[in-house]
Structure 1
Amino acid sequence: MDDLKDLVMEAHKRDIKVLLDYVANHTSPDSQMLKEKPSDWFNPKKDIVNWNNQEEIEKGWIYGLPDLNQDNPEVKNFLIENALWWINETNIDGMRLDTVRHVSKSFWNEFANAIKTEYPDFYLLGEVWNDNPRYLEQYRQLGIDGMTDYPLFKGIRSAFTRFGKTATLINAIKQREIYSNAEINGIFIDNHDNKRLISNASENGQEYLKQALAFIMTYPSIPIIYYGTEIGMEGGDDPDNRQDMKWEITKDSEVLTFYKKLAELRSNNISVKEGSIELLDYDSYFFSYMRKKDDKSVIVIMNLQSKEKNVTINIPISANYKNILTNKVYVIKGNKLEVALQPFDILLLESK
């Protein structure tokens, strides 16, 4: 506990916020709770068969993990008081809430209200594994600040891969307006439940990974970087995607060098930090969008194909832009940009 408190304290000195992962749905098969607590603290052991049945989703056991019964007032109160205890003891800034859709909405509403009453600025990020943004938004309305954006994740995985196309990603971007607070959703490329993107993409995996990183680092939500993604770590299905961090790769990683440029852009460019997003032109194999704040803007263009592609993009403003990756200057005349995209090209054009 002292180590955690020291970590939070030192992070705060560096203007870094710390989130803990909090699991209210289940416990370990080896947990002492199974011995110490009465049986009505747990739902009867039953696998989820119909994943479209909300009652099954909330009452069933996932992966053989004992499912806590939040309908029991003792369990509900324990979980809420336990969460408040962690916040009070450690001074953390937020929680990533695990397996949110496997717990009743009434519980989450009471949980969020209890925390926000004591800590109004505390950030709650809900993991709701579902591809429908309207389904996710239901949990946002309960008081959970942001969602892990699985609809966007599906789009990312559909685009940045061998034979990938943009349709699902474009649709997810267009559905952004469904969320009431999309800017505080968490967006991600990899996580502990899925094969890493670089491995899933197979051929040209590193190129697709760099494109995916460029996308989430220039998109108006919160990027979540799963450890190792920033250095191009590979990993298949769970548990292969949970290998130890390969620190030796950090010394000479092309992906890490690229990621640092993206982090610098996100930290220092007002359009990327705070600007609106507007989809520009796209087809099945390339897409473009603009981030804009006042008179500043950044245009992002990507070619998903392994061959050159000539495109014409309609730009809503006329200005001079510089590619932050190559320093090449582009002059927008007549509100059009004609460009020959190279294979797997990434253009990050900053207004000058």
Structure 2
Amino acid sequence: MRKVTTLVLLAICSFAFGQIERVEPPNWWANMNSTELELLVYGDNISNLDPEFSGNINIKKVVKVENPNYLFVTVDTEDITAGTHTLSLKKGKRTVDSFNYEFKTRRDGSEQRKGFDSSDVIYLLMPDRFANGDPSNDSTSETIEKANREHQGGRHGGDIQGIIDHLDYINELGATTLWSTPLTLDNEKVYSYHGYASSDLYKIDPRYGSNEDFASLSAELHKRNMKHIMDFVPNHWGLSHWLIQDLPSSDWIHFWEGGENGFKRSNYIQTTQFDPYASEIDAKGCMDGWFDYTMPDMNENNPMLITYLVQNAIWWIESGDLDGIRVDTYPYNDKKGITEWVTRVMEEYPNFNVMGEIFMHETAHIAYWQKDSKVGAIQGFNSNLPTVMDFPLHDILPRVFKEDQQNWGDGVYRIYDHLTKDFLYPNINNLLIKMGNHDVNRINQEFDGDVDKYKMALTLIMTLRGIPQIYYGDEIGMLGDKGKGDGDIRRDFPGGWTGDEQDAFTSKGRTTKQNEYFEFTKNLLNWRKGKKAIHFGETLHFSPVDNVYVYFRYLPDNPNETVMVVLNNSNKDQKIDLARFEEGIQSHTKALEIISGMEYEINQNLDVAAKSGLVFELK
């Protein structure tokens, strides 16, 4: 295997002309908005060959780079018709090698595909830990790490077929959208199950299945009127990525002198992206530093790399029939480069959605990264990124529901205060809100398995502005302590493997407590599906008193679409005088509580049990 060096790239001494080993993207589509396609053509010492396309396809530009094993061939696709065309590499009049390149027909309406939005509920899972539908691919001859379910940080065997086998479970739960952590090949020697160190951006890891299986997953989701989000990782690739092992040129990665293979760890100070006082060395240390030893940091100042990443995203959207992309470690990317990337993707699909992981803890810092942000505009920056993650809300949730007394600023007042900062966001509906994910303590671990606290937190998440996301297993009360290692917060879903002692995918297989979690989640999520006031409505809230928080979601032009939420976060039953909330109740006289199904008269008092929430449809 070729190795990365400091200034030059090895394996460039041969003068024999070899075969074409790769062409990326491996195929394309006719009738794309972008009329240029930059093909990466790879093979031993091919840079002295001349590319030629059949079918009168116009080659607009050929770029040769440091490494003679590459040609970058830009073709004009404006008038290309679907079909297979021959790409030939020639030495004079002699054809040295050729490649049959296919331009496919796009799906009808592909350009106008609608992305996920605030009418959806996202179900996040880690494929290796969800369900093993095909044990025959647990270990493969072409991948290094073999299955070992006894090892917390090893491969456990979950796969795409396991997800497909349990889509009806996710659908029954009421989630409308699936987000899986990365499924592309991660062929590192150890700890590869998470998928965030890709070895091939165009290939599904065979331990998960095939590219065809990935497309089948989308098809099965769409049969159920569900959506599919792909996890995309442009900031860093795996050290074992074939392109990293034989770089086109030294400026495709951030190479640090003195470090083994150019490694220097990021300082992780994301605020240097906008800090007006940041030193250059700190900014470079964040954006150019490697996320980890096995994850070389990609140089998005390189326009050829950005084009490669844009085309890769478009290729997966088309071939995988996607409804959204989640971008990992968004602020670690070069700001200019990642903005060009998201802009070009959204130009191809104007109704699509891209969500960036902004793992920061201040509302202003998150808002900076959303498209059309006034915060970013202060520095003349517009990210063009539609959706960001409300991590500050996630940060306070564990504290909120463990604080029985409001005092000043405690308990549900933290939620009230947090929402007062929403004016910083240009689009509050495009905020991902969540109780947890694959990088933090499970919410039920934070609540010590207290189902009442879970119910209140879920009620909040499912009725606030934004796009709610739950993490696999939360709906059955799964625990996980990050202090015990990432594997503990990424436990196997019980019943996903043949021979499991319990099958929590079925009502009969769940314990009584697990069913209490599940049924509450199911009822709330399925009710939410039809509530436009929750999806796109306005918010009216009242400052909490005695740790009781009351807010309304409503459509201004439709008074029949009004939802009132009451959260009693105290450890005592409370009788609430509703007169204070007349501004939200208005002329409504009755209310249907959606979990219990009980109908209430909207009079002067409302009894609310300790540590509980009520969700009313006002009539």
TM-score (norm 1): 0.91
Provide the aligned C-alpha RMSD in A.
2.1
Looking at structure 1, the residues matched to 266 and 402 of structure 2 have their Cα atoms a distance apart, in angstroms, of 31
For 1:79, the aligned partner's letter is L
What is the deviation of 1:188? Answer: 0.8
Looking at structure 1, the residues matched to 549 and 328 of structure 2 have their Cα atoms a distance apart, in angstroms, of 33
The 1:53/1:268 distance shift into structure 2, 3 A limit, reads: closer
Q: 1:249 aligns with which of 504, 508, 517?
A: 504
Equivalence for 1:278: 540
For 2:488, the aligned partner's letter is D
Looking at structure 2, the residues matched to 292 and 94 of structure 1 have their Cα atoms a distance apart, in angstroms, of 27
What is the deviation of 1:50? Answer: 6.5
Equivalence for 1:291: 553
1:214 aligns with 2:459: yes
The 1:301/1:108 distance shift into structure 2, 3 A limit, reads: same
Equivalence for 1:347: 614
Q: 2:480 aligns with which of 219, 228, 235?
A: 235
1:158 aligns with 2:399: yes
Counterpart contact for 2:413–2:544, Cα < 8 Å? no
What is the deviation of 1:322? Answer: 2.2
Equivalence for 2:78: none
What is the deviation of 1:48? Answer: 3.4
For 2:223, the aligned partner's letter is K
TM-score (norm 2): 0.53
Looking at structure 2, the residues matched to 258 and 267 of structure 1 have their Cα atoms a distance apart, in angstroms, of 15
Equivalence for 1:53: 272
Deviations 1:10-49 (A, max 9, x none): 3223322211000011123443343122543222332334
DSSP-derived class of the 1:81 partner: helix
The 1:117/1:210 distance shift into structure 2, 3 A limit, reads: same
Looking at structure 1, the residues matched to 232 and 441 of structure 2 have their Cα atoms a distance apart, in angstroms, of 23
Equivalence for 1:140: 370
What is the deviation of 1:114? Answer: 1.0
What is the deviation of 1:211? Answer: 1.1
Equivalence for 1:42: 253
Looking at structure 2, the residues matched to 246 and 173 of structure 1 have their Cα atoms a distance apart, in angstroms, of 37
User: Percent identity at matched positions?
Assistant: 27
Counterpart contact for 1:130–1:136, Cα < 8 Å? yes
What is the deviation of 1:118? Answer: 1.5
What does 1:320-335 correspond to in 2, within 5 Å?
A: 320-333=590-603
What does 1:310-325 correspond to in 2, within 5 Å?
A: 310-313=575-578, 314-315=580-581, 316=583, 317-319=586-588, 320-325=590-595
Counterpart contact for 1:99–1:127, Cα < 8 Å? yes
Deviations 1:55-74 (A, max 9, x none): 13222222443211112233
Looking at structure 1, the residues matched to 528 and 598 of structure 2 have their Cα atoms a distance apart, in angstroms, of 20
Deviations 1:228-267 (A, max 9, x none): 1122211110231111122423423211100111112211
DSSP-derived class of the 1:53 partner: helix
The 1:300/1:103 distance shift into structure 2, 3 A limit, reads: same
Counterpart contact for 2:413–2:547, Cα < 8 Å? no
Deviations 1:274-302 (A, max 9, x none): 32111124136221111112212111111
What is the deviation of 1:170? Answer: 1.6
The 1:161/1:60 distance shift into structure 2, 3 A limit, reads: farther
What is the deviation of 1:162? Answer: 5.5
What is the deviation of 1:160? Answer: 2.6
For 2:308, the aligned partner's letter is F
Q: 2:524 aligns with which of 262, 268, 271?
A: 262
Equivalence for 2:471: 226
DSSP-derived class of the 1:96 partner: strand
Counterpart contact for 1:299–1:348, Cα < 8 Å? yes
Looking at structure 2, the residues matched to 113 and 345 of structure 1 have their Cα atoms a distance apart, in angstroms, of 44
Q: 1:93 aligns with which of 323, 348, 355?
A: 323
Counterpart contact for 2:592–2:616, Cα < 8 Å? yes
Equivalence for 1:106: 336
Equivalence for 2:224: 14
Looking at structure 2, the residues matched to 246 and 305 of structure 1 have their Cα atoms a distance apart, in angstroms, of 33
Q: Which moved more, 1:24-33 or 1:290-299?
A: 24-33
Q: Which moved more, 1:49-58 or 1:270-279?
A: 49-58
What is the deviation of 1:156? Answer: 2.2
Looking at structure 2, the residues matched to 338 and 175 of structure 1 have their Cα atoms a distance apart, in angstroms, of 31
For 1:249, the aligned partner's letter is A
Which structure would you say has the larger RCO, counting Cα contacts within 8 Å and 6 or more residues apart?
A: 2
DSSP-derived class of the 2:592 partner: strand
Q: 2:425 aligns with which of 172, 179, 197?
A: 179
Looking at structure 2, the residues matched to 149 and 289 of structure 1 have their Cα atoms a distance apart, in angstroms, of 19
What is the deviation of 1:325? Answer: 2.3
Looking at structure 1, the residues matched to 538 and 421 of structure 2 have their Cα atoms a distance apart, in angstroms, of 15
For 1:40, the aligned partner's letter is D
Q: Which moved more, 1:57-66 or 1:172-181?
A: 57-66
**Runs of 5+ in structure 2 lacking a partner?**
1-210, 257-262, 274-282, 372-382, 405-409, 496-502
Equivalence for 2:436: 190
Counterpart contact for 1:158–1:166, Cα < 8 Å? no
Q: 2:605 aligns with which of 318, 334, 338?
A: 338
Counterpart contact for 1:192–1:242, Cα < 8 Å? yes
Question: How many residues get paired?
Answer: 348
Counterpart contact for 2:455–2:612, Cα < 8 Å? no
Looking at structure 2, the residues matched to 161 and 127 of structure 1 have their Cα atoms a distance apart, in angstroms, of 27
